[in-house]
Amino acid sequence: MRYLDRLQPLALLVMRLALGAIIVDHGYHKVFGGLNHHVQFVTSLGLPAWSAYLSAFTEFLGGLLVLTGLFTRIAAIAICIDLSVAIFKVHLHNGLMGNGGYELPLALATLAFALIFFGGGPIAFDHIRAPGGGGWKSK
């Protein structure tokens, strides 16, 4: 199975694209479609209003960074924290599966968690910006 090691850059690219696309979409609707509604919702959870702005822009801008592979680890940390708060404050009481469950946020947080440690890989702007810093070592 060592031959699969050559596909690690592709796997990291697919992880980044999947996570980034979903997170950008979630953030886009908050930033450009209903920021006031999002602020009201977040404050109803007992969190400060500024955290609503932080979460909306973390999802939108962090998702864009993950998509492009620029500052992937930093963006992944922010996304992982954002999703962890969403799981514990919004989704946990709905259970794992079903309407409003934490299945999707948990899967996305897991992707973000992996990107924190593996980085964006060689098919990312991080690799161009700082060669060898993409988290994947060629053999």
Residue 56 lies in a domain: yes
Q: What is the pLDDT of residues 47-76, one digit of tens each?
A: 999 999 999 999 999 999 999 999 999 999
How far, CA to CA in Å, does 40 sit from each of 20, 35, 48, 53, 80?
Answer: 25, 9, 10, 11, 22
Residue 67 lies in a domain: yes
Instruction: Tell the residue number behind the tokens 């963006």, with chain if given.
Output: 75
Q: What's the confidence (pLDDT) of residue 96?
A: 84
The model's pTM is 0.85
Tell me which long-range contacts 43-46 makes (C-beta under 8 A, separation of at least 24): 45/89, 45/90
Residue 27 lies in a domain: yes
Res 130 pLDDT > 90: no
Residue 135 lies in a domain: no
Q: What's the confidence (pLDDT) of residue 4?
A: 85
Q: What's the confidence (pLDDT) of residue 135?
A: 47
Please report which residue ranges of 3-124 form alpha helices under DSSP H. Answer: 8-33, 35-44, 49-68, 72-86, 103-118
Whose CA is closest to 23, among 64, 52, 77, 51?
64
The set of residues, in sequence order, having a beta carbon less than 8 Å from that of 104 and lying 6+ positions away, is none
Mean pLDDT of 38-55: 93
pLDDT category at 136 given cuts 50, 70, 90 is very low
Q: Is 120 in contact with 72 (CB distance < 8 Å)? A: yes
Res 134 pLDDT > 50: no
Q: What's the confidence (pLDDT) of residue 133?
A: 52
Residue 137 lies in a domain: no
- Which residue range forms the structural domain that includes residue 37? 2-129
Write the DSSP symbol of residue 120: S
Mean pLDDT of 21-36: 92
Q: What's the confidence (pLDDT) of residue 127?
A: 82
Q: Is 65 in contact with 79 (CB distance < 8 Å)? A: no
Residue 28 lies in a domain: yes
| Domain total in the chain | 1
